Amino acid sequence: MPFQLRVLEGIQTLVNSLTPSTSTSTAALLSSTTSGTINVATKSISFHNNDANNPAILNVNGGGNVNIPPGVTVNFDAGPNAEYPAGHFVYDATGSSFIISYTY
């Protein structure tokens, strides 16, 4: 195989590794007034506390519970070609109301 062809093939391999995946994403939207876990690997996710008075709880990757005040939205984006593992996000909207949207 000529040297130039090997170089071109090497460049093509590098370009292919940097090109974003063409896989499709699926969007999901849910409203919750209970506790739960997002049990799919997610590419991006948003939690919005839709309650007028009470905080909701979010735990990311076992890092501890964080109160999300009423009216606040928290967003996470794993970036291109990345995702958060299933079970990474645990929430408790008991006594409150979370609107959760995510892509997987």
| Residues contacting 83, CB < 8 A, separation 6+ | 41, 42, 43, 104
46-93 tens-digit pLDDT: 999 999 999 999 999 999 999 999 999 999 999 887 999 999 999 999
Extract long-range pairs of 62-71: CB within 8 Å, 24+ residues apart. 65/92, 68/98, 70/96
- In this prediction the pTM is 0.76
For the CA atoms of 88, 94, 99, 102, the dihedral, rounded to the nearest 10 degrees, stands at: 10
Name every residue whose Cβ is closer than 8 Å to that of residue 95 and which is 6 or more positions away in sequence: 33, 51, 54
Give the chain's domains with CATH numbers: 23-103 (2.60.120)
